Amino acid sequence: MGVIVIGSKPFNEQYILAHMIALLLEENGYKADVKEGLGGTLINYEALKKGQIHVYVEYTGTAYNNILKIEPPDVWAPDYVYERSVEEMLNRDGISTVAKLGSGMIML
């Protein structure tokens, strides 16, 4: 397998998460390359859809509201929002979520 490219948004938490993912991948025999500070949510998501990056961390509420533009539920239930976001990203764009990470998700 080639190099797994990990994208990040342009702020410290995203840089740290991207490098943590790279370290985990490398410890398990994969080659990883981090592309720091690619831009905001939509830039990373489009790069993921186009195969320019293979993985990045997104926040569940951001995916639900900004990427998928789903109407807010009557009651904001984090598990519902996560599950609906995972389902919609897969159905709409073929994007898989590989892990839940606090209030975020790791997508590929």
> Above 80 in pLDDT, residue 43?
yes
What does R_g of the chain's alpha carbons equal in angstroms?
14
Q: State the pTM of this model.
A: 0.90
N- to C-terminal Cα separation, the chain = 15
pLDDT over 90 (residue 51): yes
- In the predicted model, what is the mean pLDDT of residues 37-65? 94
pLDDT given for residue 24 in this prediction:
94
Domain that holds residue 8: 3-107
Residue type, 68: L
- What integer pLDDT is reported at residue 34 of this predicted model? 98
pLDDT at 1: 61
pLDDT in tens, 3-16: 999 999 999 999 99
Task: Give 17's contacts (C-beta < 8 A, 6+ positions apart).
Answer: 8, 57, 101, 104
Average pLDDT, the chain: 93
Can you give the CATH number for the domain in which 91 is found? 3.40.190.10
**How many domains would you assign to the chain?**
1
